[in-house]
C-alpha cells in the first residue's frame, strides 16, 4: 500500500505540534478544528463536550486521508478511537511520539489550554492517563520515537 502522509500521534506534550511545525506542509488538527469552530479546544469541551470534539477529529481525519505529502499533527486523543486508527493507517505512516510523565509535565505545566489537565497537572495523573492510552497508541502506530 502506498503511504501518502506522516501522521504524528501521542500524548499531549510529546512534541507533535513542535515537530510538525518544523516540517513542510504541516497540518495541526487541533488548530484546524479551533479555526473551523471559532473557539478553543477548551471552549469546545466546555460548550459541546468531549464526544462532540472527538467526532470533529474523526471527520477531519477522514477529510485529510486523501491528501498527499502532509505532516499531520493529530490531537492527543485522536488515536483512541479504533475507527480513527484505521483511517490513519490508510492515510499514511503513523509515528507515535513518546515521553516520560515528568517530561510531559515540564512541557505543559504553564499551558492552561488542555482541558484534561485542569486541576490534574501532576506526574501521577499524567502517568495514569498515559498507561490507559498506551495500548491504543501502540496499536495505531507504525513506529515509535521517544522525544
Residues of the chain where predicted confidence (pLDDT) is lower than 70 = 1-3, 24-25
Q: What is the pLDDT of residue 55?
A: 96
Q: What is the pLDDT of residue 2?
A: 61
Q: What is the pLDDT of residue 3?
A: 57
pTM of the model as a whole:
0.88
Task: Enter the C-alpha cell of residue 135.
Answer: 495500548
Q: What is the pLDDT of residue 113?
A: 85
- How far apart (Å, rounded) are the C-alpha atoms in residues 52 and 37? 11
Q: What is the per-residue DSSP string for 79-139?
A: GGSHHHHHHHHHHEEEEEEE--HHHHHHHHTT----GGGTT--SHHHHHHHHHHHHHHHHH
Amino acid at each position: 500500500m502506498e503511504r501518502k502522509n506522516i501522521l504524528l500521534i501521542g500524548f499531549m506534550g510529546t512534541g507533535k505540534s513542535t515537530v510538525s511545525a518544523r516540517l513542510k506542509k504541516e497540518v495541526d488538527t487541533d488548530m484546524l478544528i479551533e479555526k473551523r469552530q471559532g473557539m478553543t479546544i477548551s471552549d469546545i469541551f466546555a460548550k459541546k463536550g468531549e464526544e462532540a470534539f472527538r467526532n470533529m477529529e474523526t471527520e477531519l481525519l477522514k477529510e485529510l486521508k486523501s491528501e498527499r505529502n502532509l505532516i499531520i499533527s493529530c490531537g492527543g486523543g485522536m488515536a483512541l478511537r479504533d475507527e480513527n486508527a484505521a483511517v490513519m493507517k490508510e492515510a499514511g505512516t503513523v509515528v507515535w511520539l513518546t515521553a516520560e510523565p515528568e517530561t510531559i509535565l515540564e512541557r505543559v505545566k504553564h499551558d492552561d489550554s488542555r482541558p484534561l489537565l485542569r486541576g490534574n497537572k501532576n506526574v501521577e495523573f499524567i502517568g495514569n492517563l498515559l498507561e490507559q492510552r498506551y495500548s491504543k497508541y501502540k496499536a495505531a502506530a507504525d513506529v515509535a520515537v521517544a522525544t
